[in-house]
Structure 1
């Protein structure tokens, strides 16, 4: 049965031993615990501030320089191409496009090679090849050889070939009719002389160039329908051919994709000032830049309150990175690029486009009326030059902004180094907390043991005193 007497109260002395020990231990650990708590809060707050900066800068840099394989949202082409019928001919333009209207007539589409082997009895999975051998599939003088095992089926051979489609651009399928099953080869490569041929020591797999398959004969192999041809296109009366249905070298700055159904009726391709596209890109640039500015303000601007803090009495609460020079350095680097002249041209300052900086918080804004007026003055090409630059583009505002951010965001950069340092401080503080907790546990046990020993001694002395008192009381009583 548990003792009803509170163990924190000394039985001999009657002292509140638990309270005394707690008071002594708390007094001992107060200074160190306050230091650890304060430093931990400071480090955690700074880590949060660094994270806020990292997030805003990374988003801005992704906009400025998208990952490989993705399309940039910043398209500063001064002029944009449009098609009168994008279902027949779709168009895009680059920074070299110039205003104009062009008539495009598609006379032929580029086609790809499609060939078939002889027919084999059975279906795709049951048409076994009794004796194996080798099969070489070639296109444009480049071939890939496959080893065919005894008893292989058309399905297993097709699987072998399709495993290499990404590198060979050739795929295999199976068509079954009344004569049996045939292995059919197709390709994503188009144009004249892109015929697929095969050589094989297995009967029925040989496909020679220029031979058409007779679909009524089981033993016939060759090309299906017609041989591959080049695209035939006329632009403004000038005729040319292309192996591909993507035409990107015949109309300056404009890339055209010829789509099924485009043969025949002419399509009008117009290159005009890209007012809407430029405005959209400028606004995207401004919004992302402003996000960085606001993030810097969030982590550096102290909060002023009319009510003093109940613990410290302070009326000013610093932000995560108040007084830190790094955020100011980032902002300075970005603002410096905004006012630096890069590529030469009639457009030298952003204010000519209606872009201004707010005095209150440093954010940018776009005045649509002033922007439209600048476009009316023929500055579209200069916008493209200002932001995208000339030559390799390194003198454009986009590239220069990206270069200004990179030292902070790159692997092992300023933000990463600062984060590593703060994480190390956090780990050190955790170790200090663990050590302090151990000290508190040890000190509590030590003091408790000492006070319990004192309490036991006091109890023994009280018992002795009581015994002596009783003895003298008895002696006095006997004398009476």
Structure 2
């Protein structure tokens, strides 16, 4: 066995003190370091796995239950309406629409009220006498106190502060006669005239007063009084105060656009085959993403070559053996086979949607889907997915209810993540403690070996001195 003594380190002993201390310290920390490293890798991998699942489920949940104020990408209306001229008329339909063709003649669109005051010199900074102003429309009134030192601009600001509740906005238009306070409204239709009463000269506008643009003192409505929309649908006259006709043609909402007066547009309602297929495919793709995510985090990898460290040919995934991913799959698969709202269309297989035996993913058979459309089941797709009544018996609502316990704030994902983060923090504390122990042990052993080396050096010096003494004595005797 080779001697550990080398002339390169300890001056007294010749021992490789640094190497010896390192070997002893590494031996001492090996077991604990291995445990910390293994547990840290496991926790990090699990956090990553939960993140993968959460991302897939959140995307799926956003699809089946989009946030309030956003439009769902899933449109399951069995029939869709189209307009032959979308620059004149746009249309939308719901599930109560029925196939048909309709001729829509737009005589005139609904208009809103616009009125102007008398003209003032000085533009937006025109001084306005103090006084009272009341603005009325459709029986609703709003009163304002105009203070001393007011200008057209300050009056505009006062009025516009209430626009969200009054639906009336103010602006300043400067014509050849001066600057006028102009009031407009988002409310349309006959009878929606804006009127004003005021003790300020030039601010009073009656219902029948028409503004004369050639007179600086004239105040009244600009152009013409507001009118209701007038259309004929297949020869039947329809009048509306709004340019959106939501209840005129069953299941179809019509929106008249500016510039469509005296025009005729054809509205066609037909089976929404392409739209339904697109929505079904979006649902399938998002569902399959969840199934794929579960497989990714649970399916172990088998290799022909054994791992150099463990000797195993099987490498577990992030959540292999964890019951949570299987519970997620079970929860959403149960809803796929439930009849829910019932009716003529009660399960996805009737639309040609089936589950793969090998991977559990959904596929859409186009031939079977078209056969379902040919049987007249298009109008039932909405009920299958969106349900009846409050919608809780629809597939989308039931799917959402199944995954909400996992994705909601404080839910299963949050609970597991919090627990793993705590474990990770504890492991970091253990690592810090181990690092401190290693530092302390290294310093202690180094000090001890250095002290030993000093003593050995002193003993060597004494031995050399004694040897020299006897050598000298022997030499003198000789």
2:412 is the counterpart of 1:426: no
Alignment CA distance shift 1:273-1:7 (3 Å) = farther
Corresponding residue pairs, total: 473
For residues 461 and 157 of structure 2, the distance between their equivalents in structure 1, rounded to whole angstroms, comes to 98
SS of the aligned residue for 1:440 comes to helix
User: Offset at 1:8?
Assistant: 8.6
**Contact residue 296 and residue 327 of structure 1 kept, 8 A:** yes
Q: How does 1:329-408 map to 2 (within 5 A)?
A: 329-408=327-406
For residues 157 and 441 of structure 1, the distance between their equivalents in structure 2, rounded to whole angstroms, comes to 76
For residues 21 and 136 of structure 1, the distance between their equivalents in structure 2, rounded to whole angstroms, comes to 93
Equivalent residue for 2:315, pick from 306, 317, 326: 317
Which residue does the alignment assign to 1:53? Answer: 53
User: Offset at 1:287?
Assistant: 0.7
Q: How does 1:200-211 map to 2 (within 5 A)?
A: 200-211=198-209
For residues 199 and 473 of structure 2, the distance between their equivalents in structure 1, rounded to whole angstroms, comes to 132
For residues 178 and 31 of structure 2, the distance between their equivalents in structure 1, rounded to whole angstroms, comes to 91
User: Offset at 1:163?
Assistant: 4.0
**Contact residue 8 and residue 19 of structure 1 kept, 8 A:** no
**Contact residue 10 and residue 453 of structure 2 kept, 8 A:** yes
SS of the aligned residue for 1:82 comes to strand
Alignment CA distance shift 1:47-1:107 (3 Å) = same
User: Offset at 1:147?
Assistant: 4.8
Unaligned runs of 5+ in 1: 1-5
For residues 325 and 426 of structure 1, the distance between their equivalents in structure 2, rounded to whole angstroms, comes to 21
User: Offset at 1:78?
Assistant: 0.9
Which residue does the alignment assign to 2:91? Answer: 91
For residues 463 and 158 of structure 2, the distance between their equivalents in structure 1, rounded to whole angstroms, comes to 103
For residues 41 and 150 of structure 2, the distance between their equivalents in structure 1, rounded to whole angstroms, comes to 69
User: Offset at 1:149?
Assistant: 4.5
**Contact residue 8 and residue 18 of structure 1 kept, 8 A:** no
Which residue does the alignment assign to 1:281? Answer: 279
Which residue does the alignment assign to 2:35? Answer: 35
For residues 315 and 411 of structure 1, the distance between their equivalents in structure 2, rounded to whole angstroms, comes to 39
User: Offset at 1:38?
Assistant: 0.5
**Contact residue 7 and residue 15 of structure 2 kept, 8 A:** no
SS of the aligned residue for 2:359 comes to coil
User: Offset at 1:155?
Assistant: 2.8
**Contact residue 88 and residue 263 of structure 2 kept, 8 A:** no
| Deviations 1:212-242, CA, capped at 9 Å, x for gaps | 1121111121111111122223223333322
Which residue does the alignment assign to 1:453? Answer: 451
SS of the aligned residue for 1:459 comes to helix
For residues 346 and 82 of structure 1, the distance between their equivalents in structure 2, rounded to whole angstroms, comes to 27
Equivalent residue for 1:298, pick from 274, 296, 299: 296
Q: How does 1:64-83 map to 2 (within 5 A)?
A: 64-83=64-83
Equivalent residue for 2:169, pick from 168, 171, 178: 171
Query: Which deviates more, 218-227 or 7-16?
Result: 7-16
SS of the aligned residue for 2:284 comes to helix
User: Offset at 1:7?
Assistant: 12
| Deviations 1:81-117, CA, capped at 9 Å, x for gaps | 1222222121101122222332322223111111111
Query: Which deviates more, 42-51 or 392-401?
Result: 392-401
Alignment CA distance shift 1:457-1:142 (3 Å) = farther
SS of the aligned residue for 1:115 comes to strand
2:135 is the counterpart of 1:155: no
Equivalent residue for 1:470, pick from 468, 471, 478: 468
For residues 154 and 308 of structure 1, the distance between their equivalents in structure 2, rounded to whole angstroms, comes to 85
For residues 396 and 139 of structure 2, the distance between their equivalents in structure 1, rounded to whole angstroms, comes to 44
Cα RMSD (Å): 2.0
User: Offset at 1:393?
Assistant: 1.6
TM-score (norm 2): 0.94
For residues 47 and 284 of structure 1, the distance between their equivalents in structure 2, rounded to whole angstroms, comes to 28
Unaligned runs of 5+ in 2: 1-5
**Contact residue 83 and residue 270 of structure 1 kept, 8 A:** yes
Alignment CA distance shift 1:32-1:200 (3 Å) = farther
**Contact residue 108 and residue 261 of structure 2 kept, 8 A:** yes
SS of the aligned residue for 1:92 comes to strand
User: Offset at 1:267?
Assistant: 2.4
| Deviations 1:293-320, CA, capped at 9 Å, x for gaps | 1111011100000011111111000001
For residues 48 and 8 of structure 2, the distance between their equivalents in structure 1, rounded to whole angstroms, comes to 43
For residues 17 and 134 of structure 2, the distance between their equivalents in structure 1, rounded to whole angstroms, comes to 93
SS of the aligned residue for 2:263 comes to coil
User: Offset at 1:145?
Assistant: 4.2
TM-score (norm 1): 0.94
2:239 is the counterpart of 1:241: yes
Equivalent residue for 1:272, pick from 240, 264, 270: 270
For residues 14 and 79 of structure 2, the distance between their equivalents in structure 1, rounded to whole angstroms, comes to 94
Which residue does the alignment assign to 2:114? Answer: 114
For residues 167 and 447 of structure 1, the distance between their equivalents in structure 2, rounded to whole angstroms, comes to 81
User: Offset at 1:15?
Assistant: 0.8
